[in-house]
A and B are shown apart, each in its own frame.
Chain A
């Protein structure tokens, strides 16, 4: 959001610097004096929490890479050595392993916040799509990271997921097999596969870091959305980022870190799987292969479709479809707060995702398959049917005229306000009267 720079270099050195590389000016304008909607709630603190998670994963990961051996013969033992022998290895390994789960908890809350308050709507489509790319990159990173301890779940998780590509044999015979062998670097998952996964697992977080910078850049062009979905119109609608938003973010981060520390210190292996404490054995498949909890909804979608290729397509489509929702949602308002009908569908969608997560952990048989199909159908119907149809039929409830009115309770000030330059136009112009 462009606003006049209030940065004033105080010393001669700061002035000299400002004329050459005005990084302090940018930091001041974007992270100190940046206008933030005054009504942001705690759901808006997860952007900062996620930045923390990314940095924590990178720092602990770099340390672990100093002690880890990416070879089939030594990987399993080297992780054991990190946990037992390396000074504070028990702490750093637990931070990294639990940190992945914390990262996904935070990112899912962040995504559902965006879905509820319509943060994907114009003019924030690119911001949202960058977020979808970040999610994809996070999933790839987490998947490859889970391979590295080279336990039974690591090995068979990699086998099952890389074998998804073999379903392309149904399209062009031989194509799927060629891709899978290319990914493996052999005729089965082996140390060669482990080695390249380690290389990519180290690389991808920095790709995510770059995407995050673009994500924040796009955020600072459009400005933050807020619980009303109404743009900032006057100076009284916003507060400077520092100290208001920064303090709120800091408080939420501390609470989050307490949860994080509780997992790390008291139940470091709770979110892992017991089978992964057995070293990888290419001749024995564990009886029940489950992915990490954060992949369970997608795994349930994969297994809900009775056709191998169809299941793979549905699973990838369940993420790809997120990129299109800025155009699927036809409502004149952003925030679900003012959408009396869609509100119920939103909660139904959240329940579907949680149910798919539960079903993904269950064996793929009997009644579990039936319900996985029901919820998979709703997952897609929510985006493809509910969003366009409910969005164009529903009459939004009465909206406040501005963010200030929403906070201070003034009514009716909105009528004088025609347009506001915001898109979608209706978001600012009393849509309940249309």
Chain B
């Protein structure tokens, strides 16, 4: 068509190559601008906390901070453990244990605790609905219809194993990765 262009195909490949290279170059610059907003190494380094359990008497609970989030630790009474064990998994709104130490297992009480230390319940104390802090840690708090925790924001009830039983929350409380370093000490994270 155009006799004045010496080699149109050679010209085309130059244009395509130049455009492609600049597009890839520009696109690769997007990632630094996206990634700068993610948690940095400093935030990730705050990711483990050691907790001494010896001062927590039976029936009491404490809240510790881990990664800027509250972690609920409850020394459950034998009745509370018994109540949690009796519940059938297929009656639960969320049948998954949500335990990072036993990922993907059914939500039995045993799967949400550590074998031999069943009285200790350790979990992230954030309502899985929209992130409020539920009531139930202090002795005087409302513990909801199932004796565990109750979120006042939108009315979610959790049982003594921290599993969602009633209300809008979609998931059981998350159990963070943790291990017993001695009989009375745990390392979260």
Chain A contacts to B: CB under 8 angstroms: 156, 159-160, 162-164, 166, 170, 181-188, 190, 192, 196, 282-285, 287-289, 303, 306, 308, 364-365
**Nearest A residue (CB) for B126:** A188
Taking CB atoms, residues of chain A closer than 8 Å to B134 are 285
Nearest Cβ distance between residue A155 and chain B, in whole angstroms? Answer: 11
Q: Which of B37, B67, B155 contacts A365 (CB 8 A)?
A: B155
Q: Which of B70, B152, B153 contacts A283 (CB 8 A)?
A: B70
When the two chains form their complex, are residues A186 and B170 in contact, meaning their CB atoms are under 8 A apart?
no
B8 interfacial contact with A, CB 8 Å: no
**Best-surrounded residue of A163, A164, A285, A289 (most CB of chain B within 10 A):** A285
Ordered by A's residue number, 29 sampled pairs between the chains whose C-beta atoms are within 8 Å are A160-B130, A160-B132, A162-B131, A181-B39, A182-B34, A182-B37, A183-B37, A184-B39, A185-B37, A185-B39, A186-B67, A187-B69, A188-B67, A188-B68, A192-B43, A282-B69, A283-B65, A283-B70, A283-B133, A284-B133, A285-B132, A287-B152, A288-B152, A289-B132, A303-B154, A306-B168, A308-B129, A364-B154, A365-B155
How distant is the Cα of A387 from the Cα of B153 in the complex, in angstroms?
A: 36
Q: Take A185-B43, A283-B70, A364-B155 as given contacts and tell me if A196 and B132 are in contact as well, using a CB distance cutoff of 8 Å.
A: no
Interface SS majority for chain B? loop
Q: Take A283-B63, A283-B70 as given contacts and tell me if A170 and B170 are in contact as well, using a CB distance cutoff of 8 Å.
A: yes
How distant is the Cα of A426 from the Cα of B153 in the complex, in angstroms?
A: 51
When the two chains form their complex, are residues A196 and B70 in contact, meaning their CB atoms are under 8 A apart?
no
Taking CB atoms, residues of chain A closer than 8 Å to B37 are 182-183, 185, 196
When the two chains form their complex, are residues A163 and B130 in contact, meaning their CB atoms are under 8 A apart?
yes
Q: Take A186-B43, A192-B43, A306-B168 as given contacts and tell me if A282 and B70 are in contact as well, using a CB distance cutoff of 8 Å.
A: yes
How distant is the Cα of A287 from the Cα of B132 in the complex, in angstroms?
A: 10
B9 interfacial contact with A, CB 8 Å: no
How distant is the Cα of A170 from the Cα of B169 in the complex, in angstroms?
A: 12
B22 interfacial contact with A, CB 8 Å: no
How distant is the Cα of A91 from the Cα of B67 in the complex, in angstroms?
A: 39
B54 interfacial contact with A, CB 8 Å: no
When the two chains form their complex, are residues A187 and B67 in contact, meaning their CB atoms are under 8 A apart?
yes
How distant is the Cα of A308 from the Cα of B131 in the complex, in angstroms?
A: 12
B182 interfacial contact with A, CB 8 Å: no
When the two chains form their complex, are residues A285 and B39 in contact, meaning their CB atoms are under 8 A apart?
no
Q: Which of A160, A183, A283, A308 contacts B170 (CB 8 A)?
A: A308
Beyond the given pairs A182-B34, A365-B155, 4 more chain A to chain B contacts, judged by CB atoms under 8 angstroms and listed by A's residue number, are: A160-B131, A162-B131, A186-B67, A282-B69
Q: Which of A166, A182, A282, A289 contacts B68 (CB 8 A)?
A: A282
How distant is the Cα of A192 from the Cα of B37 in the complex, in angstroms?
A: 9
Which residues between 5 and 50 of chain B lie within 8 Å of chain A, taking CB atoms? Answer: 34, 37-40, 43
Nearest Cβ distance between residue A146 and chain B, in whole angstroms? Answer: 16
Residue interface bits B126-159, CB-to-A below 8 A is 1, else 0: 0001111110000000000000000111110000
Taking CB atoms, residues of chain A closer than 8 Å to B133 are 282-285
How distant is the Cα of A365 from the Cα of B39 in the complex, in angstroms?
A: 36
Q: Take A183-B37, A308-B168 as given contacts and tell me if A285 and B70 are in contact as well, using a CB distance cutoff of 8 Å.
A: no
How distant is the Cα of A365 from the Cα of B166 in the complex, in angstroms?
A: 13
**Nearest B residue (CB) for A178:** B38
Nearest Cβ distance between residue A279 and chain B, in whole angstroms? Answer: 16
When the two chains form their complex, are residues B68 and A190 in contact, meaning their CB atoms are under 8 A apart?
yes
Nearest Cβ distance between residue B75 and chain A, in whole angstroms? Answer: 19
Taking CB atoms, residues of chain B closer than 8 Å to A163 are 129-131
**Nearest A residue (CB) for B151:** A285
Which residues between 83 and 120 of chain B lie within 8 Å of chain A, taking CB atoms? Answer: none
When the two chains form their complex, are residues B132 and A159 in contact, meaning their CB atoms are under 8 A apart?
yes
Q: Which of B43, B68, B153 contacts A160 (CB 8 A)?
A: B153
How distant is the Cα of A188 from the Cα of B69 in the complex, in angstroms?
A: 6
Taking CB atoms, residues of chain B closer than 8 Å to A283 are 63, 65, 70, 133
Taking CB atoms, residues of chain A closer than 8 Å to B152 are 285, 287-288
**Best-surrounded residue of A160, A164, A196 (most CB of chain B within 10 A):** A160
Nearest Cβ distance between residue A283 and chain B, in whole angstroms? Answer: 5
**Nearest A residue (CB) for B36:** A185
How distant is the Cα of A289 from the Cα of B134 in the complex, in angstroms?
A: 13
Q: Take A187-B69, A364-B155 as given contacts and tell me if A164 and B130 are in contact as well, using a CB distance cutoff of 8 Å.
A: yes
When the two chains form their complex, are residues B67 and A285 in contact, meaning their CB atoms are under 8 A apart?
no
**Nearest A residue (CB) for B169:** A308
Taking CB atoms, residues of chain A closer than 8 Å to B69 are 187-188, 282
When the two chains form their complex, are residues B68 and A187 in contact, meaning their CB atoms are under 8 A apart?
yes
How distant is the Cα of A190 from the Cα of B170 in the complex, in angstroms?
A: 24
How distant is the Cα of A125 from the Cα of B157 in the complex, in angstroms?
A: 47
The 4 A-B residue pairs with the shortest CB-CB distance in the complex, in nearest-first order: A187-B67, A188-B68, A285-B132, A163-B131
Q: Take A285-B152, A287-B152 as given contacts and tell me if A186 and B132 are in contact as well, using a CB distance cutoff of 8 Å.
A: no
Taking CB atoms, residues of chain A closer than 8 Å to B70 are 282-283
Taking CB atoms, residues of chain B closer than 8 Å to A282 are 68-70, 133
